[in-house]
Amino acid sequence: MSLTETIDDGHLPWEEGRGVPGPQTSLAILWSLEEPDRIGETAVVQGERILGRGDPQADDPAPRLRFGRARPGGHLPGPMLQGARLSRQQLQLSPRTDGGLHVRSLGRCRLLVNGRETSEAEVGDGDVLHLRNALMLLVIRRKPFARSRAWPASLEFPFGAADKFGIVGESQAAWTLRDALAVAAGSGLHVLLRGESGAGKELAARALHALSPRANRPLIARSAATFTETLIDAELFGNAKNFPNVGTPERSGLVGDADGSSLFLDEIGELPPSMQAHLLRFLDRGGEYHRLGESRPRRADVRFIAATNRPIETLKHDFAARLMARVEIPGLGERPEDVPLITRSLLVALAERSPEIAARFFERRGGRLAEPRIEPELIELIVRHRYTLHVRELERLLWTSLSSSIGEFIAVTQPLLDALKVAEPPPPRSETSPSAPLPDRGAVESALAAAGGRVALAARSLGLSSRYVLYRLMRQYGLEGAEATA
C-alpha cells in the first residue's frame, strides 16, 4: 500500500509527535535514609495526592503518590514508600494553576522547605522539601519523556548508574543528551558540542565516537587552545621527511593519525578565526589536505568533533557552517535532580582509589561498597548551588567536605560553607512573619555549650531558621571548631 493510500484528513503521519504534552509537576527523590536505592525516582503530581508510608489507607483524603523509575518510553512504578520515620499520611500535595504545589504537613516528620521549617508552603520548580532525617525531594517541572529515537536498546544499564560511556543521570536532560549523541553518531556529519566548562563535553565526545561506526579505532583528541599560528599546519596535517630542516622526521599529524577514526578538538572557540580557516578545505573537500613539504594532496577519512564553551556566533561563520550536527551539553543547573546520582558516582570513584575513604565513609554489603554516608543537608546545598564549572566544581566541593569532615559522615563543614558562600536560605513562600533579632555572641556561646557543640541543636534552641544561620554567626563572632559535631 502506498503512502497516499494511508492518508486522510484526520491522520497525517508527518504530524505525529507534534502534540507533545506540556510540562508536568513532579517530585524527585534526592535522598532517603532508609531507601537510598530509590534516589532518582520521580512521581508526577496529577491532582491532589497524599505522600506517606505504606499502602493506601481507607481514611486517605486523596490518592497516594507513587514513585517510580522514568526513562524514555516508559515509567516503571516502584513500591510504596516504606521509610519507618514517615507517617502513613505525611504530606498533602495540591497542584496550583500556575504549575506549583501547595504542600501541607500532616505527619510527625518535620517539614523543611528550602532549609526552613514550616507546616505548609507554596512551592515550585527547584524548591527542596526535606522531611527531617527521612526523605528529601526536589520539585521539578518538566515535559514528559519522549520515546528515544536512537539510543540502542542493547546499551541498557542499571537505573541511577553510569552508562557504558560514563554519563550519569536519569533526568529528561540527561536522556535528551544521550539521544542527541546517538543521532549525531550515526549521521556521519562533523559535530559541534557546546556547553559550559565542566559540563562534560569531552565525555560526550568520547561517547559520540564510541556510538559511531568508527568505534573500533582510537579517538584522537587534542585541545585547540594549544595550537600556535606558526605550527598549526604541522600539528594538524604533519610534514614530509626533512621538511623544513634536514633531519626532521616525517609526521602524519593529527589528521593522519585520525584517518578512519574521529578527531576531537576541544576548546575550538579559543582558536582565532584566522586559525579556524586552516581547517576549512579539509572539512569541505572530502578530507583533502597537504602535508608540509609535499605538493600532492592527501585525503583522510576523518569524523571531526569540536567542542566549545563559547556561543556559536563567536566561531568563524563558514567554519561553524561545516559543523552541521550540533549537540548542547546541559549543565547541572538544567538537571539538578541528577546531582545526587553524580555525587554518588564521584564519591565511589574516590573510594575505589582510597581504601581509607571507603572504610570511613561508605556502607558495605556483602563485602562490597554500598552507598556513601552523606549528611542530608549537604545534598540540599549542592543541589541548590548555582554552578559555573559544573561537574568539576561539584567534585571540588565534595572533596572540600570530605577532607574536612571529622566523623563517619560526609558533612556540612565550615570550609564547605566558605566555598559555597552560603547565605541564609529564603523563607517558604507562605511565611510572612517578621524576622526575630539575631542572638549576640554570649547567647551563641551559651547555646553551643548547652548543646555540647552540636550546631543543629544549638540553632534550634536559639530559634534560628537553620544551622547555616548559626554557622554564619559563629564566623562573625570568631567562634570556630564547632562544625565538626554538627
Rounded to a whole number of angstroms, the distance between the first and last alpha carbons of the chain is: 72
The DSSP secondary-structure symbol of 199 reads: S
pLDDT in tens, 336-355: 999 999 999 999 999 999 99
pLDDT (0 to 100) of residue 14: 62
- pLDDT for residue 334 is more than 90: yes
Whether 4 shows a pLDDT value over 50: the answer reads yes
pLDDT tens-digit map of 282-317: 998 788 998 988 888 899 999 999 999 999 999 999
- HEC per residue, 381-441: HHHHCCCCCHHHHHHHHHHHHHHHCCCCCECCCHHHHHHHCCCCCCCCCCCCCCCCCCCCH
Q: How confident is the model at residue 446 (pLDDT cuts 50, 70, 90)?
A: confident
Structure confidence by residue, pLDDT tens digits, 68-97: 999 987 889 999 999 899 999 999 999 999
User: Where do the domains of the chain lie, and which CATH numbers do they carry?
Assistant: 20-142 (2.60.200.20), 153-330 (3.40.50.300), 334-428+437-485 (no CATH)
Burial call 347-385: b when 16+ CB within 10 Å, e when fewer: bbebbeeeeebbebbbeeeeeeeeebbbbbbbbbbbbbb
- pTM for this model (two decimals): 0.84
**Average pLDDT over all residues of the chain:** 88
Predicted pLDDT at 433: 42
Asked if pLDDT for residue 143 goes beyond 70, the answer is yes
Query: In the predicted model, what is the mean pLDDT of residues 387-397?
Result: 96
The x, y and z cell numbers of residue 101, run together, are 504545589
- Give the pLDDT band (50/70/90) at residue 1: low
Question: Does the structure show a pLDDT above 60 at 434?
Answer: no
Confidence of residue 16 (pLDDT cuts 50, 70, 90): low
Please tell me the distance from the alpha carbon of residue 270 to that of residue 196, in angstroms, as a whole number.
14
Chain position carrying cell 548542547 = 328
